[in-house]
Amino acid sequence: MGYQEHKHHVPVIVNCAVVIISGSRTEQTDESGKYLMSRLKECGNNVTAYSIIKNDASAIIDTIDKVFKDGSTQAIITSGGTGASHMDITIETVSPLLAKKMDGFGELFRNLTYQEIGTGSILSRAMAGIIEGKVIISLPGSLEAVKLAMENIIIPELSHLVREASR
């Protein structure tokens, strides 16, 4: 089956969780999380969970485990902790959990980011992958980065990713 044929067999609604990884954000100041939830819902998807957690490996692993064990969540979108500082541990924490890494996501995101901001795009370690048949996408914390990923990659491909991950 080709790419276009696959697109005809994707789920219409995807159940997604939004996880913000930050040492400073609160529900009041979390623009990225609000945007993610709003756009997911506007596109007809469900938001099954929303949380803000610290840059802590145990908190990240526990949250991913809890969300996916609910049985209904098909994808988690995280925001934060993907940069190059010593506090940014999302990628190091999530990577060992992956059954498959979707390298094209990070490559495309960095290419789009380069078109927007130039060589600073090399600091992004955004990624996507599959954990036990479920999709996880890890984005930077900035609202502009989240918008770029949502509009240019996630919204067009989320259903397709979920279908392929669950097969």
Query: pLDDT band for position 75 (50/70/90)?
Result: very high
In-domain check, residue 45: yes
Q: How many domains does the chain have?
A: 1
In-domain check, residue 77: yes
Pairing of strands 134-139, 75-79: parallel
Pairing of strands 15-21, 75-79: parallel
Tens of pLDDT, residue by residue over 10-36, are 778 999 999 999 989 999 999 999 999
Calculate the CA 73 to chain-centre distance.
13
Torsion region of 141: left, alpha or beta (phi above 0 gives left; psi -120 to 50 gives alpha): alpha
Range of the domain at 34: 14-165
In-domain check, residue 6: no
In-domain check, residue 3: no
Whether the pTM exceeds 0.85: the reply is yes
Q: In this structure, what CATH number is given to the domain that contains residue 127?
A: 3.40.980.10
Tens of pLDDT, residue by residue over 87-125, are 999 999 999 999 999 999 999 999 999 999 999 999 999
Average pLDDT, rounded, for the chain:
95
What one-character DSSP code corresponds to residue 10? S
Contacts of 34 (CB under 8 A, 6+ apart): none
In-domain check, residue 1: no
